[in-house]
Amino acid sequence: IKRIALLTSGGDAPGMNAAIRAIVRTGIYNNLEVVGIKNGFSGLLKKDFVEMKSNSVSKIISRGGTILKSARCKEFKLKETREKAFANLREMGIDALIVNGGDGSFRGADLLSKEFGFPVIGIPCTIDNDIYGTDFTIGFDTAINTVIEAVDKIRDTAESHNIIFFVEVMGRDSGFIALYTSIASGAEATLLPEVKTDIKQICSYMEQERRANKTSGIIIVAEGDKEGGATEIARKVKEQLPEYETRVTILGHIQRGGNPSCKDRVLASILGHGAVTALLEGKQGVMVGMAHNRTVYTPLEETYLKHDQIDHNWIEVSKIISL
């Protein structure tokens, strides 16, 4: 291979820029030409390409978001769209593609690889940490640090005013952000999509806390909790316990932004480098991940068909140590 392309797709994640930088510099080090594709798969269709040089990626390691921009591209689910994408890659003389994104992006990447035998490598970038084949995804560490910083601040008001705060964090299908931040901030309860939420149980827990003279608290709610988000849960609790002072804070998109943490920069740098070396070694149709501090490769299809599960013991630990 002589010429490789890269794109960022799906939800942005802090550390994507560090991955872009590592890919470009590793490519150049190995005498490859590197092409950046803007706006994910939709840029691939519109031939929105830029030649990447070493200085194209100067001073971006510390920046959140993605300099290549990201976009959703619904039509990529259609075969004729992917045929167009493949034709564009060929026309631009591109020999391989690196896709930085989440499981949705990997579905598209996998189809491109299987349908046309085109070399594609995935790099896991999502704050949700819900991708099989890597211990952590790029962006997760930064996001959880943003959350605990916010929760620490909310706790000051909770304690000063004897309020129970329901703090909603991201995680539509996965409770990793909620579980980690709950343990780290000493939250009184954690509600996750993976565990059935029992409103009665939360209420009796709150009453028990009050009897122990604990009148404030933080309850972390993953947005994908099956009983509803924080607003809905707070409403249901208030119905049962009208005398309790409750508030809702939805952290929202602050969780996706910000300068990547040291861990995310290192992970992104190692995986970016690992993606390019994988292509040089002839690997394709795989995602590069990190497991037990080693670079590992997993077939793209496994990354979205299998699922990393949260450790249910951790929920118990979280309860025990916040009593």
The owner of tokens 């496994």 is 302
**Is 11 among the residues that bind ligand ADP (CB under 6 A)?**
yes
Pick the piece of the chain touching ligand ADP (CB under 6 A) from 6-14, 24-32, 43-51, 134-142. Answer: 6-14
Tokens of 65: 């978001």
Number of amino acids touching ligand ADP (CB under 6 A): 18
Query: In whole angstroms, how far apart are CA 47 and each of 10, 27, 70, 215?
Result: 18, 21, 15, 58
**Is 77 among the residues that bind ligand ADP (CB under 6 A)?**
yes
* Chain residue at closest Cβ approach to ligand ADP: 104
CB of residue 110 vs ligand ADP: minimum separation in angstroms?
8
Residues 103-162 that bind ligand ADP (CB under 6 A): 103-105, 107-108, 111, 126
Residues 34-63 that bind ligand ADP (CB under 6 A): 41
Residue type present at position 261: S
Among 8, 9, 88, 249, indicate the residue that binds ligand ADP (CB under 6 A): 9
For residues 112 and 85, is the Cβ–Cβ distance under 8 A?
A: yes
**Is 6 among the residues that bind ligand ADP (CB under 6 A)?**
no
For residues 300 and 285, is the Cβ–Cβ distance under 8 A?
A: yes
Catalytic (active site) residue 173:
no
What is the distance between the alpha carbons of residues 228 and 209, in angstroms, rounded to a whole number? 23
CB atoms within 10 A of CB 170: 24
What is the distance between the alpha carbons of residues 15 and 132, in angstroms, rounded to a whole number? 19
Q: Which is nearer to ligand ADP, 104 or 186 (CB)?
A: 104
**Is 102 among the residues that bind ligand ADP (CB under 6 A)?**
yes
CB of residue 313 vs ligand ADP: minimum separation in angstroms?
28
**Is 86 among the residues that bind ligand ADP (CB under 6 A)?**
no
Which phi and psi (to 5°) does residue 289 adopt? -135, 180
Which phi and psi (to 5°) does residue 286 adopt? -130, 160
The site for ligand ADP (CB under 6 A) is made up of 9-11, 41, 72-74, 76-77, 101-105, 107-108, 111, 126
Just list the catalytic residues: 128
